[in-house]
């Protein structure tokens, strides 16, 4: 039996095994109120599959955009979203917190 | 993450070996650190020390070392939920626990209760609770819940749980049943302070009536204790 329904790593690994290009996004730091703690993961594929989350849904779209760049370049990057960040204002982190996300290609 | 590192991480998780993934945020350089600090990479000593602490705390965090920021991401084995009594409430509890990060074992020597049909996909242990508990060895990442109402089954399990580091011990039963239970456990040599670890009546007070409601109350209490939510302790409530 699967002991962790939030086992994003195994889902991501399965996708890689199926030949998908997969990017992992991981919350590395949060300030103020933010819905998901450090260590929370989101996996996205080139084909548009998604598992897990790095926020309450506010920044997943922007992270998925960045993921496409990481898929192409293979270079990991850190994204920061929050009220002090222009981009985040657009994206809208409704909780008013700030969150830093590490985005990397898997495999 | 390189395929080699990913495989090593998944292998450690599969073997239920605690391991920490350290990532240098400036360039994505990564290494795995074990509980003993072994990492087979060129990591600054301060990062290794912080990694071991993060693993023990089971909390992901970032640290600065030699001008670089590192993300320390612990991957500990699942928490464990040991349920004594393959009863109706256990049937409701067993599927709730895995999404919350708990691996479940249900102990019940009464084979007409402990069937795969009643517990699809759940690990069942049909030994007597004292025998099963001696082998399962609950630790500080384990919760123990007794649901049988039968002292022959519940008491040996509670006795073993009290002698362990289990972070949660709960026993189903009314206040009266619980008082009688505490008296029996006192005779087994457990002190008043030790017995205060047992949460009984079990579960958060949400006026639960049905089996799934009671299971929810129990699971919520386990999460609350794990996350150190301010709860009125059973001992204080009784005082």
What are the counts of helices (DSSP H) followed by strands (DSSP E) for chain A? Answer: 3, 5
Which chain A residue is nearest to residue B74, measuring alpha carbons?
A: A39
In this complex, the residue of A1, A39, A104 whose CB is nearest that of residue B1 is A104
Closest CA of chain A from B99, distance in Å: 4
Per-residue model confidence (pLDDT) at position A97: 78
What's domain B79-238's architecture?
Answer: 3-Layer(aba) Sandwich (3.40)
Residue spans per domain, chain B: 3-75, 79-238
Contacts of A105 in chain B (CB under 8 A): 1
Per-residue pLDDT reduced to its tens digit, B69-83: 999 999 998 899 999
How many percent of chain B have pLDDT more than 90?
89
Closest CA of chain A from B62, distance in Å: 7
Closest CA of chain B from A27, distance in Å: 9
Per-residue pLDDT reduced to its tens digit, B22-31: 999 999 999 9
Mean pLDDT of chain B: 94
| Residue B224, both tokens | 């609350």
Alpha-carbon distance of B103 to B105, in angstroms, equals 7
For residues A10 and A34, the model is more confident at A10
What are the counts of helices (DSSP H) followed by strands (DSSP E) for chain B? Answer: 9, 10
DSSP structural state of residue A82: S
Per-residue model confidence (pLDDT) at position A18: 96
Per-residue model confidence (pLDDT) at position A59: 85
Lowest mean pLDDT among A87-96, B10-19, B188-197: A87-96
A75 interfaces chain B, CB cutoff of 8 Å: yes
Q: How many residues does chain A have?
A: 107
What is the value of pTM for the model shown?
Answer: 0.79
Per-residue pLDDT reduced to its tens digit, B126-185: 999 999 999 999 998 999 999 999 999 999 999 999 999 999 999 999 999 999 999 999
| Residue A35, both tokens | 């819905």
Helices (H), B33-103: 45-57, 88-96
Lowest mean pLDDT among A3-12, B19-28, B37-46: A3-12
Residues 14-53 (B) with a CB less than 8 A from some CB of A? 23, 25, 27-28
A74 interfaces chain B, CB cutoff of 8 Å: no
**B216-224 LR contacts (CB < 8 Å, sep 24+):** B216/B92, B216/B96, B218/B89, B218/B93, B218/B145, B218/B170, B219/B93, B219/B96, B219/B97, B219/B100, B221/B168, B221/B170, B222/B81, B222/B100, B222/B102, B222/B143, B222/B145, B222/B168, B222/B170, B223/B100
Residue with tokens 């929810």: B216
The DSSP secondary structure of B158-225, one letter per residue, reads: HHHHHTS--SEEEE-S-HHHHHHHHHHHHHTT--HHHHTTEESS-S-SS---SHHHHHHHHHHHHHHH
Closest CA of chain A from B78, distance in Å: 7
DSSP structural state of residue B36: T
Across the interface, do B121 and A1 touch by the CB < 8 Å criterion?
yes
Which chain B residue is nearest to residue A10, measuring alpha carbons?
A: B10
Closest CA of chain B from A38, distance in Å: 6
In this complex, the residue of A4, A13, A28 whose CB is nearest that of residue B6 is A13
Residue spans per domain, chain A: 23-106
A86 interfaces chain B, CB cutoff of 8 Å: no
| Residue B223, both tokens | 């999460």
Residue A46 pLDDT grade (very low, low, confident, very high; cuts 50, 70, 90): very high
Across the interface, do B62 and A37 touch by the CB < 8 Å criterion?
no
CB atoms within 10 A of CB B87: 22
């Amino acid at each position: 039996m699967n002991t962790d329904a939030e086992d994003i790593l195994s889902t991501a690994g399965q996708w890689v095994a199926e030949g998908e290009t997969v990017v992992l996004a991981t919350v590395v730091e949060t300030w103020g109120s933010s819905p998901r703690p450090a260590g929370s993961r989101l996996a996205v594929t080139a084909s548009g599959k998604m598992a897990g989350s790095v926020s309450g849904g506010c920044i997943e779209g922007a992270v998925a955009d960045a993921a496409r760049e990481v898929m192409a370049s293979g270079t990991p990057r850190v994204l920061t979203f929050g009220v002090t960040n222009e981009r985040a204002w657009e994206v809208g982190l409704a909780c008013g917190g700030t969150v830093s996300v590490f985005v990397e290609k898997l495999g | 993450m390189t395929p080699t590192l990913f495989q090593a991480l998944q292998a450690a998780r599969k073997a239920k070996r605690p391991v920490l993934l350290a990532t240098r945020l400036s360039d994505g350089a990564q290494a795995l650190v074990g509980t003993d600090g072994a990492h087979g990479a060129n990591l600054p000593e301060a990062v290794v020390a912080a990694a071991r602490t993060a693993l023990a705390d089971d909390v992901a965090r970032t640290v600065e070392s030699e001008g670089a920021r590192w993300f320390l991401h612990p991957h500990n084995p699942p928490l464990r939920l040991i349920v004594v009594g393959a009863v109706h409430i256990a049937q409701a509890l067993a599927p709730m626990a895995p999404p919350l990060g708990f691996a479940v074992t249900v102990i019940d020597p009464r084979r007409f209760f402990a069937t795969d049909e009643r517990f699809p996909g759940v690990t069942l242990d049909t030994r007597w609770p004292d025998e099963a508990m001696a082998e399962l060895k609950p630790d500080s990442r384990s919760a123990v819940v007794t649901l049988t109402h039968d002292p022959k089954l519940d008491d040996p399990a509670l006795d073993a749980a009290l002698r362990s580091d289990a972070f949660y011990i709960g026993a189903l039963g009314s206040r009266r049943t619980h008082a009688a239970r505490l008296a029996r456990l006192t005779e087994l040599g457990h002190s008043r302070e030790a017995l205060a670890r047992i949460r009984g009546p079990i579960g958060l007070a949400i006026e639960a009536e049905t089996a799934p409601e009671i299971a929810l109350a129990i699971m919520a209490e386990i999460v609350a204790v794990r996350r150190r939510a301010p709860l009125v302790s059973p001992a204080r409530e009784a005082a």
